[in-house]
Amino acid sequence: MRSMTRQADAQNVDAVLDRAAGLGREFLAGLVERHVAPPVAVDSLRQALGGPLADAGEDPCVVVEALARGAGPGIVASAGPRYFGFVTGGVLPAALGADWLATAWDQNAWTYVASPAASVVEEVAGQWLIDLFGLPPTASVGFTTGATMANFAALAAARHAVLARVGYDVEEQGLAAAPEIALFAGEAAHATIVAAVQMLGLGRARVRRVAADDAGRMRPDRLREALAAGAGPAIVCAQAGEVNTGSFDPFDQIAALCRERGAWLHVDGAFGLWAAASPALRHLVRGVDAADSWTVDGHKWLNVPYDCGYVFVRDGASHRGAVTVDAPYYPQATAGRENSQFVAESSRRARGFATWAALRSLGRQDVADLVERCCALARRMADRLRAADRVDVLNDVVLNQVLVRFRSPVEDDDDFTREVIRRIQADGTCWLGGTIWRGRAAARISISNASTTEADVDLSAAAILACARAGRE
């Protein structure tokens, strides 16, 4: 075994941090110019990074160098300004610095005793988020890996609450003998709502999908009909920001219907709830504060590094009741917040530091500016694209999402749209993905990176249109 003195260890740490910082800087310096998703053969990555584990360890600097060299060709510039795939944010400098510190500190954020600082930071940043989104000030907050697990925790709280109201303890008794829960979600609800239902044992097939309009907004008239058909425990899942169109369900009407029926209302606002942080866009989420639980992502529009999502629940007791784990050796009655009482995890990364730093570095005004700027850039992109021949923008660009379809004089438009997407991805100026919207193939453009500029949009629009033209030739 390699023998190490504490001094040698310290020198190693200094050297490896310097080297990692240098490599990180080099990457970031080249991010804007990089091919956004360079083609890479999976076998070449396996070859560069694989092989049997050696008996003898290596010098940490050599290891970090080898990682950067081996992984480099497989690193996507998704943190860069022209990555429009999925819904992807970049990283604000303060969040990056804070996240590096979180790693250096290596705090376990699960309990106050393991990290009083991680506990207080989640308490403080959670309250800032509640304030920005205009949610009930006493709502509870959990810091999750992302919106998927935020939806999971929120629906666990919902399951707890609606069954507790009819005298059933689901955590104790399980679902086998539980009263049925009626579940409703919009036709265009995100796949992770269904995933949460699946993981909670509620049954994917039991979700009643409520018809949506052409923009993907749940139709309140249809929800009214669906809710009228039954009584008893019920959960309704609405959405702020449909993943293709960016549209918002009409929360004020939906909330009124849920109130009448005594149903729990959950809102998946993974990216769309950020509209609430902008005075200019807040009208899009009117009535959202009347819900019982909410999901938002940090790693999308707040531009904090992966991974980071948030779950908010009006009734903190239901939230805690659904996910809290206890054991005789777990700290009891500590002086501060127990972060683990709000997520389906125990030991975990102290992801609150990056959120705290991002929010503090932006302030209320720049959070609003970030959201509004991305929306203005999305409208600019849509204008550039729809001005061209045989290019259709399929959605009303209410937020940061643009749905585009390319037409060909000779080819089937679905095939042609997929071919144009393939060409854009290969071109490397920008990256966007495909989808099926209302039965037709389309390209999705999602703008959520704080560093994207008008010049990036113009450059990307020109590249997209050039790929469409080339496809027709």
Ligand X SMILES: Cc1ncc(COP(=O)(O)O)c(C=O)c1O
Which residues bind to ligand X, rule: CB under 6 A?
86-87, 146-148, 190, 192, 239, 241, 243, 268, 270-271, 297, 309
Kindly state the smallest distance separating residue 267's Cβ from ligand X, in Å: 10
Nearer to ligand X, 163 or 311 (CB): 311
Cα–Cα distance, 315 to 156 (Å, whole number): 12
Cα–Cα distance, 106 to 100 (Å, whole number): 10
Q: From edge to edge, which strands make up the β-sheet containing 309-313?
A: 140-144, 309-313, 293-297, 264-268, 234-239, 182-186, 207-210
Prior bond to 9 cis, omega within 30?
Answer: no
Cα–Cα distance, 473 to 457 (Å, whole number): 24
Nearer to ligand X, 115 or 239 (CB): 239
Nearer to ligand X, 192 or 417 (CB): 192
Task: Write phi, then psi, for 374 (nearest 5 degrees).
Answer: -60, -40
Nearer to ligand X, 86 or 168 (CB): 86
Kindly state the smallest distance separating residue 299's Cβ from ligand X, in Å: 6
Longest dimension (CA), the chain: 72
Kindly state the smallest distance separating residue 21's Cβ from ligand X, in Å: 27
Kindly state the smallest distance separating residue 254's Cβ from ligand X, in Å: 16
- Strands 293-297 and 264-268 turn out to be parallel
Burial (CB count within 10 angstroms: exposed 0-12, middle 13-18, buried 19+), residue 57: exposed
Kindly state the smallest distance separating residue 406's Cβ from ligand X, in Å: 23
**Cβ neighbour number for residue 98 with a 10 Å cutoff:** 24
CB 121 within 8 A of CB 339: no
Kindly state the smallest distance separating residue 154's Cβ from ligand X, in Å: 11
Nearer to ligand X, 163 or 302 (CB): 302
Kindly state the smallest distance separating residue 104's Cβ from ligand X, in Å: 25
Q: Which of 29, 30, 36, 26 is nearest to 459 (CA)?
A: 36
**Cβ neighbour number for residue 347 with a 10 Å cutoff:** 10
Kindly state the smallest distance separating residue 195's Cβ from ligand X, in Å: 9
Cα–Cα distance, 400 to 307 (Å, whole number): 21
Nearer to ligand X, 195 or 463 (CB): 195
Kindly state the smallest distance separating residue 239's Cβ from ligand X, in Å: 6
Nearer to ligand X, 261 or 266 (CB): 266
Cα–Cα distance, 368 to 274 (Å, whole number): 8
Kindly state the smallest distance separating residue 353's Cβ from ligand X, in Å: 19
Structure tokens at 369: 């500016």
Q: Which residue is nearest to ligand X (CB)?
A: 146
Nearer to ligand X, 147 or 464 (CB): 147
Helix axes 191-199, 147-164, angle to 10 degrees: 50
230 CB contacts (<8 Å, ≥6 apart)? 182
Nearer to ligand X, 146 or 352 (CB): 146
C-alpha angle with apex 36: 34 to 39, nearest 5 degrees? 100
Nearer to ligand X, 164 or 243 (CB): 243
